[in-house]
Chain A
Amino acid sequence: MSHEFNRRSFLRCALASGAALGVGEITQLLIATPAWAGFEKQDDSRFTVEAKFYEKLPNNKKIKCKLCPRECTVGDRERGYCGVRENRSGTYYTLVHSRVCAAHIDPVEKKPLFHYLPGTLAFSLATAGCNVNCKFCQNWDISQVRPEQVPADYAPPKLVAELAKQRNCPTIAYTYSEPVIFSEYLMDAADAGHEAGVRSVAVSNGYMQEESLKKAYGKMDAVKIDLKAFTESYYKDVVVAELKPVLASLVTLRKMNKWTEIVYLVVPTLNDSEAEFQGLARWIKTNLGVDVPIHFTQFHPEYLLKNLPITPVPTLERAKAIADAEGLRYVYIGNVPGHPAQNTYCPKCRRMLVERVGFTASQMLIRKGNCPFCQQPIPGIWHA
């Protein structure tokens, strides 16, 4: 039996999270296995729900998954690449609905979302699994495993919404692993959250089909997309995915008027050329506009990429300079505590509008979406 995700267990996790935040230093991005969960045999049945995005094939009870561009053809008794969807006699099931293996209360800046309710908390959760296999994954111990291999709690959508509200979190964040692969749960939890007055955000790789993206992320109030690189070769070799569909997702989100921010993890020698930064900035300007925030973040050796060094700060600054020169208005540097490029500045009068220390917004001057000094509109979702 798995654990019921109740107030007591939640409190333990929330306290642990709060203690970590109180240190005032950079909070580890790596999310440890939740402390409240014991390793008991999980009852699969209550996490198992028919998947939304797939089609049945005519022969041998096979199915084709339509969730992400991989389009896994899955035989009976087998799972897709993500490891969390299983074909059972020709019907495809998600095995992770309400099956939460990590839950914390984080500042929304940690996602990072810098133009979205600064200084607020996000009730952040994940299930096991992922539809890609990034060699630098910080959370591989939950993203690259099957759901039965990690302790998990039963957290139905209404309970998540209720707990978020009780803990003064205006937002539920689907994060840590990859929300694409728990789309059904995400959609139900977002509905429950909205009914309770709690918003939802997804922290995602954007490797989705257009239809699933529209339906699942249509329910989000904001989305952060990890654009891993700007070359297909990197996506193929390091991410085990493709760049093109991710760019298409960004354009679709733009057309949906969904508030979107982009993170670009700069990995030394692999995706840090000036030409790539230039191409990326130009593409964003042309296809998404200059107001989309982009965060160039520092890589730390992890998982299968332990042979590379931490990204030098000058490399991140060079990326920012190139994007600034291209005309992008909100270019940030991430994972470097205390760097001035973590703050938000008015693109017109250059005054600082949001000051950030670590993951905390220590000063927030934007008023009604405008710069208080020159009245320049600052795009984002600033007030609950």
Chain B
Amino acid sequence: MRTMRSASRRDFLKKCVTGAAVLGAGGRMGVLAAAEEGAAFAKSRVVIARDAMLRGTGATVDSRRMLTLLDRAMQVFFDRDNPHETWKKLVRPGETVGLKVNALGGRGLSSNLQLVEAICERLQEAGIEASDIVVWDRDSDELEHVGFHIATGGNQVQCFGTDRVDYEQELVMHGSVGSRLSKILTQRCDVLINVPVLKDHDGAGVSIALKNMYGVIHNPNKYHPNGCNPYIADLNMLPEIRTKMRLTICDATTACFEGGPGYKPGYSWKNNGLMVSQDPVALDYTGWQIIERKRAEKGLKTLEGDKRAPHYIATAADAQHRLGTNDPRRIAVVEV
């Protein structure tokens, strides 16, 4: 059992800045203006936690520092001094919690193992049985390839792909494409925690929280035309996803600014961070800005200039979807 570590809220507040300042995008509203306007409506919070020493002096993420980083992010997000309290706000004993990771990118750009371990540890401390935690994606081989240990029984954290249990026969649909959902989502999990990766995507522009749901359906290939728009938004409208999704913890330890979704070392950077939000649109919007900043730093065109701006984000926020907000004035980005 690891030693519990917690940080005080005061420490965090010292480091917090508002979202508009973090985004720093040209033409965006300034801090004051955002604060004035923001008073009129509730903002979606996106917490970004970073630790420059997350990997110590090596290449591998340090498990202890990862747990601390996760605690910091969660405590700020849920406004709690004690990391246990944050998880108790999220899950209840007896629930089965699915961690939808992303193993598509291969080694180097899939959901970080230490992050998943840390989440599992905190879930168990919040009263969730190990066997009631399911770490999953579409394919067991892909999970194994990126380092997860496949486990399908006993009193341990479960880990397997939909290939082990199949998809539902019944089609579900929002918009124009019908799909069969993973039985892990429909039959196994009461709660979904989304654990995507911060990365560029050759079609959608970026692949962060919303697009990670492509891993819950049997036919993601039918959702790729037109920059995945409106398909990403449509998919996330499915009640089976919306009603179970409680939180996104985006792995931004290694992020990718070009050449995604597969891992390309030359186009990735050690960001050593996490992003936490309950608004997947706000999180995707914020992640997109981070990727744009990195692209600018590397002398690359904007995604718009590359004809693959992630228009799906605006669609997800529109009146037909209302999955969250992409309006920077309504997003409070908190860096800790």
Question: A61 contacts B222, CB within 8 Å?
Answer: no
Which residues on the A side are within 8 Å of B259 (C-beta)? 59-61, 75-76
B218 within 8 A of A: yes
Give Cα A133–Cα B260 distance, bound, in whole angstroms.
26
Contact residues on B (Cβ < 8 Å of other chain), bracket: 20 to 34
Which residues on the A side are within 8 Å of B147 (C-beta)? none
Q: Nearest-CB distance from B212 to chain A (Å)? A: 15
Question: A149 contacts B221, CB within 8 Å?
Answer: no
With A303-B178, A304-B178 as given contacts, are A78 and B219 in contact (CB-CB < 8 Å)? no
Give Cα A70–Cα B224 distance, bound, in whole angstroms.
11
With A148-B163, A149-B167, A304-B173 as given contacts, are A82 and B221 in contact (CB-CB < 8 Å)? yes
A41, A61, A76, A81 pick with most chain B CB within 10 angstroms: A76
B262 within 8 A of A: yes
With A60-B264, A133-B177, A304-B173 as given contacts, are A77 and B222 in contact (CB-CB < 8 Å)? no
Q: Type the 1/0 row for B223-264, where 1 means its CB is closer than 8 Å to any CB of A.
A: 011000000000000000000000000000000001111101
* Residue in contact with A149 in the complex, picked from B104, B173, B218, B222, CB distance below 8 Å: B218
A80 within 8 A of B: yes
A73 within 8 A of B: yes
A-B contact pairs, 13 of them (CB 8 A): A73-B202, A75-B259, A77-B105, A78-B202, A78-B224, A79-B221, A81-B221, A82-B221, A83-B222, A237-B176, A240-B225, A303-B178, A304-B178
Interface of B is mostly: loop
Question: A75 contacts B171, CB within 8 Å?
Answer: no
Q: Nearest-CB distance from A214 to chain B (Å)? A: 26
Q: How many residues of A contact B (CB 8 A)?
A: 28
Identity of the chain A residue whose Cβ is nearest the Cβ of B164 in the assembled complex? A41
A343 within 8 A of B: no
* Residue in contact with B262 in the complex, picked from A77, A145, A146, A148, CB distance below 8 Å: A77
Give Cα A59–Cα B219 distance, bound, in whole angstroms.
26
Give Cα A60–Cα B222 distance, bound, in whole angstroms.
23
A144 within 8 A of B: yes
Task: Tell me the A residues contacting B by CB distance below 8 Å.
Answer: 41, 59-62, 70, 72-83, 133, 144-146, 148-149, 237, 240, 303-304
B173, B177, B224 pick with most chain A CB within 10 angstroms: B224
Give Cα A222–Cα B201 distance, bound, in whole angstroms.
42
With A73-B202, A76-B262 as given contacts, are A81 and B222 in contact (CB-CB < 8 Å)? yes
With A60-B202, A76-B259, A81-B224 as given contacts, are A144 and B105 in contact (CB-CB < 8 Å)? no
Which residues on the A side are within 8 Å of B177 (C-beta)? 133
B92-133 residues at the A interface, CB under 8 angstroms = 104-106
Give Cα A78–Cα B259 distance, bound, in whole angstroms.
12
